[in-house]
Amino acid sequence: MKSEETRALYAEHTISCYGRSSGVVMQRGEGSWVWDSDGNKYLDFTSGIAVNNLGHCPSRINEVACEQVRLLVHTSNQFYNEPHGKLAKKLAEVSGLDRVFFSNSGAEANEAALKIARKWGNERLGGRNEIICYQNAFHGRTLGTISATRKEAMRAGYEPLLEGFVGVPAFDIDALARAITTRTVAIICEPIIGGPGVLCPPEGFLRQLRDLADQNNLLLIFDEMQSAIGRTGKMFAYQHYDIRPDILTMAKGLANGFPIGATVCTDR
């Protein structure tokens, strides 16, 4: 099928929520290279937007995926399976946290983090439910995750959004401190912001953020969709700063393109 035929199918039968930057129809990939359906070869600098950490179609991942498909694809969450338990143990070990909830995407992983925080606040802190976030944050496109931003382009048309989110400027520890009330239960942020560029926090900021959360008995949630799985030189970005969150979320590079998200938290 030629590229124009595929684009015609998209135009007629799919719902578009964002524009595609080119008319290229990808057909196959190998390492850092991809080929379109017209036979043109490209050097891929996008990595699936921080997903294909190991390149396209690495042989070892292909072998493992094919082996698992031959053994078992799906049962349900009513049963145990070996890979689930092994991956949960591995993520707990490399993160320094304790327990893992798996989902299908980064947005779902963040939704789970928000739900954990709300449930913890309701059950342990007498109903505290407000979550502080950065004003221009991006944590996903579900109704819950777009509520955790003040970007009008993300929010417009989906009102009413979820209540209980308070936006502050990124990396402003004084604004964060002022935003905390008797209703606050958690702070969610990216330790290194990936959407508008690679924005690293000021020296000492994440240590101050951790201390602020501890002083006010808040959960600190780190969204590491863009920075996890070794993309900063350590397995997770927060490990550069000698702290750890209460809840960690990841997806993207976790499975090199297969749909998986993970929400990792402490026993607390």
CATH of the domain at 18: 3.90.1150.10
Single out the catalytic residue among 36, 165, 223, 246: 223
Is residue 61 domain-shared with residue 136, that is, in the same domain? no
pLDDT for 36: 93
Is residue 138 domain-shared with residue 230, that is, in the same domain? yes
119: helix, strand or coil: helix
Residue 55 in any domain: the answer is yes
Is residue 159 domain-shared with residue 226, that is, in the same domain? yes
pLDDT for 22: 80
Residue 70 in any domain: the answer is no
Domain total of the chain? 2
pLDDT for 132: 98
Structural domain range at position 189:
76-265
Is residue 121 domain-shared with residue 11, that is, in the same domain? no
Is residue 179 domain-shared with residue 255, that is, in the same domain? yes
Is residue 122 domain-shared with residue 239, that is, in the same domain? yes
Single out the catalytic residue among 101, 165, 246, 252: 252
Is residue 33 domain-shared with residue 157, that is, in the same domain? no
CATH number at residue 171: 3.40.640.10
Is residue 137 domain-shared with residue 241, that is, in the same domain? yes
pLDDT for 179: 99
Residue 159 in any domain: the answer is yes
Q: How far apart are CA 202 and CA 164, in angstroms?
A: 27
Cis before 201? omega within 30? no
Residue 165 in any domain: the answer is yes
252 is catalytic: yes
Is residue 38 domain-shared with residue 133, that is, in the same domain? no
Is residue 16 domain-shared with residue 122, that is, in the same domain? no
151 is catalytic: no
H-helix segments, 200-245: 205-215
Single out the catalytic residue among 101, 102, 138, 236: 138
Residue 71 in any domain: the answer is no
Is residue 109 domain-shared with residue 57, that is, in the same domain? no
pLDDT for 18: 74
36 is catalytic: no
Output the pTM of the full model: 0.95
pLDDT for 205: 98
Residue 241 in any domain: the answer is yes
**Long-range contacts of 201-207, Cβ-Cβ distance < 8 Å, separation of 24 or more:** 201/171, 201/241, 202/171, 205/171, 205/173, 206/238, 206/241, 206/243, 207/241, 207/242, 207/243
3-class SS shares of the chain: helix, strand, coil, % to 5: 35, 20, 45
Return per-residue pLDDT of the chain as tens, 268 residues.
Answer: 788 899 999 999 999 877 777 889 999 999 999 999 999 999 999 899 999 999 999 999 999 999 999 999 999 989 999 999 999 999 999 999 999 999 999 999 999 999 999 999 999 999 999 999 999 899 999 999 999 988 888 899 999 999 999 999 999 999 999 999 999 999 999 999 988 889 999 999 999 999 999 999 999 999 999 999 999 999 999 999 999 999 999 999 999 999 999 999 999 9
